[in-house]
């Protein structure tokens, strides 16, 4: 077994050397405190393994804390700085990795540096909540993008002009955005393929036991069938439409049209299989998302209300109190 691994590394050393001579690609990881360690590892490990299997220094990765000499993950892991914000490094790619409440990040020094890198032609991206920071820099305008689903509605409320996709990752010219977690493994597979070819990328994924590489347009969540245990096509279609229209709720007739059935038939299906009405279920989905936003972002209550399809804060507060028996403000303090 050891001999086989040794031979495999030698083969890739030859193929990469022959076809991709040049300097190592310099990758900066801008770490916002409370970042998710899984996202960080899913970015760094494929690049480390690419170096290992090729026998070359294909990637040089530097951690860049946004503050201090080290960054601290949500689980308490400390990652020391290998570079500093503003340092003159000839980066090829800089990815922002953030989680927790990325909406609270407002370091103008970092935002200005990102703009400076963009002017120099450095490819930029964000992982998990990182695209929120990139959007605050104004660097996602006119680009398709994605981010972790828990932040998507909040970002859409702040920047309605953004083209936000509910996918695993998006590469749009010199912008790379990713939903985070293991989706970063899929993103890095695409990056290695672009940089050094599919053969090396496949070997890296196999090394990491990442044998089921997903396309960028893959779904961020388990399917409707798995999450709600429903198997009737009209219900599946209606529930999927609800989840993709939280900020701009559809009417009952629209939902029935999407489901391909009449209003009465759709209503019977919800009663039989979910023991509620379509619109009551829909409102519950919107309010549950609002509850997540209240805990996971610092967005004003009015912005949260708009993110889940309520035209006014007063209407939202009334519906929220009726559903959860407390006000949005009380929920945020809980």
**pLDDT over 80 at 222, yes or no:** no
Residue 245 pLDDT > 70: yes
Instruction: List pLDDT tens digits, range 26-44.
Output: 999 999 999 999 999 999 9
Distance between alpha carbon 309 and the CA centroid of its chain, in Å? Answer: 22
Q: What is the pLDDT averaged over residues 241-268?
A: 91
Neighbour tally for 192: CB within 10 Å = 25
Q: What is the mean pLDDT of residues 260-274?
A: 95
Closest CA to 55 of 18, 14, 91: 14
- Which of the pair, 225 or 206, is modelled with greater confidence? 206
pLDDT at 8: 39
Domain range for 81: 2-207
pLDDT for 185 equals 97
Q: Is residue 216 in some structural domain?
A: no
Structure confidence at residue 81 (pLDDT): 94
Average pLDDT over residues 241-255: 89
Q: In this predicted structure, what is the pLDDT of residue 133? A: 96
222 against 126, higher pLDDT: 126
Give the residue among 74, 91, 105, 32 at the shortest CA–CA distance from 297. Answer: 105
* pTM of the predicted structure, to 2 decimals: 0.75
Q: What is the pLDDT of residues 87-96, one digit of tens each?
A: 888 999 999 9
Which CATH number goes with the domain that contains 286?
1.10.10.60
Domain boundary residue, one of 182, 207, 232: 207
Closest C-alpha among 8, 42, 61 to residue 148? 42
Q: According to the model, what pLDDT value does residue 67 have?
A: 85
**pLDDT bucket at 225, cuts 50 / 70 / 90:** confident
Give residue 327's pLDDT: 94
Q: How far apart, in whole angstroms, are the C-alpha atoms of residue 133 and residue 145?
A: 13
pLDDT digits (tens, 9 = 90+) for 43-52: 999 999 999 9
The CATH number of the domain holding residue 26 is: 3.40.50.880
The C-alpha atoms of residue 210 and residue 46 are separated, in whole angstroms, by 10
The pLDDT value recorded for residue 219 is: 76
Domain edge (last residue) among 177, 207, 237? 207
Number of domains within the chain: 2
Q: Do 194 and 244 lie in a common domain?
A: no
The pLDDT tens digits for 77-86 are 999 999 999 9
* Domain C-terminal end among 176, 207, 238: 207
Q: What mean pLDDT is reported for the chain?
A: 89
| pLDDT confidence of residue 334 | 74
Q: Region 108-117: what's the mean pLDDT? A: 95
Between the ranges 7-21, 172-186, 228-242, 292-306, where is the mean pLDDT highest? 172-186
Residues 162 and 237 in one domain: no
The answer on 80 and 170 residing in a single domain is yes
* Helices 233-244, 278-296: inter-axial angle, 10-degree rounding: 40
pLDDT at 3: 35
> 298: pLDDT confidence band, cut at 50, 70 and 90?
confident
Beta carbons of 221 and 248 less than 8 angstroms apart = no
Average pLDDT, stretch 301-308?
90
For residues 191 and 239, state if they share a domain. Answer: no
Question: Crossing angle, helix 198-207 and helix 183-196, to 10 degrees?
Answer: 150
Same-domain status, 56 and 200: yes
> 90 and 49 in one domain?
yes
pLDDT of 100 over the 80 cut: yes
Residue 113 falls inside a structural domain: yes
State residue 217's pLDDT score: 80
The tokens describing 270, both together, are 């919800």
pLDDT at 17: 39
Please report the pLDDT score of residue 105 as a whole number. Answer: 92
């Amino acid at each position: 077994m050891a001999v086989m691994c040794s031979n495999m590394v030698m083969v890739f050393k030859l193929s990469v050397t022959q076809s991709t001579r040049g300097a190592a690609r310099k990758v900066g990881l801008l770490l916002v405190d409370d970042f998710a360690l899984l996202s960080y590892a899913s970015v760094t490990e494929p690049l480390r393994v690419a170096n290992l299997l090729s026998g070359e220094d294909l990637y040089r990765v530097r951690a860049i804390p946004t503050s201090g000499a080290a960054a601290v993950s949500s689980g308490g892991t400390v990652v020391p700085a290998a570079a500093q914000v503003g340092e003159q490094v000839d980066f090829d790619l800089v990815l922002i990795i953030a989680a927790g409440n990325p909406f609270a990040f407002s370091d103008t020094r970092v935002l200005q540096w990102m703009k400076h890198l963009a002017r120099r032609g450095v490819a930029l991206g964000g992982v998990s909540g990182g695209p929120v920071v990139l959007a605050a820099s104004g660097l996602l305008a006119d680009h398709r993008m994605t981010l972790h689903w828990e932040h998507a509605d909040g970002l859409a409320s702040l920047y309605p002009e953004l083209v936000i996709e509910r996918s695993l990752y998006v590469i749009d010219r010199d912008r790379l955005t990713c939903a985070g977690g293991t989706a970063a493994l899929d993103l890095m597979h695409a990056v290695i393929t672009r940089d050094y070819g599919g053969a090396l990328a496949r070997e890296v994924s196999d090394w990491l036991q990442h044998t089921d590489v997903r396309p960028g347009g893959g779904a961020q969540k388990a399917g409707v069938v798995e999450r709600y245990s429903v198997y009737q096509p009209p219900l599946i279609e209606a529930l999927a439409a609800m989840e993709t229209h939280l900020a701009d709720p559809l009417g009952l007739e629209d939902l029935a049209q999407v489901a391909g059935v009449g209003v009465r038939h759709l209503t019977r299906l919800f009663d039989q299989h979910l023991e509620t009405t379509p619109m009551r279920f829909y409102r519950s989905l919107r309010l549950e998302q609002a509850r997540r936003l209240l805990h996971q972002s610092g967005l004003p209550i009015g912005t949260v209300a708009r993110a889940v399809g309520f035209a006014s804060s007063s209407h939202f507060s009334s519906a929220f109190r009726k559903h959860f028996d407390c006000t949005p403000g009380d929920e945020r303090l809980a």
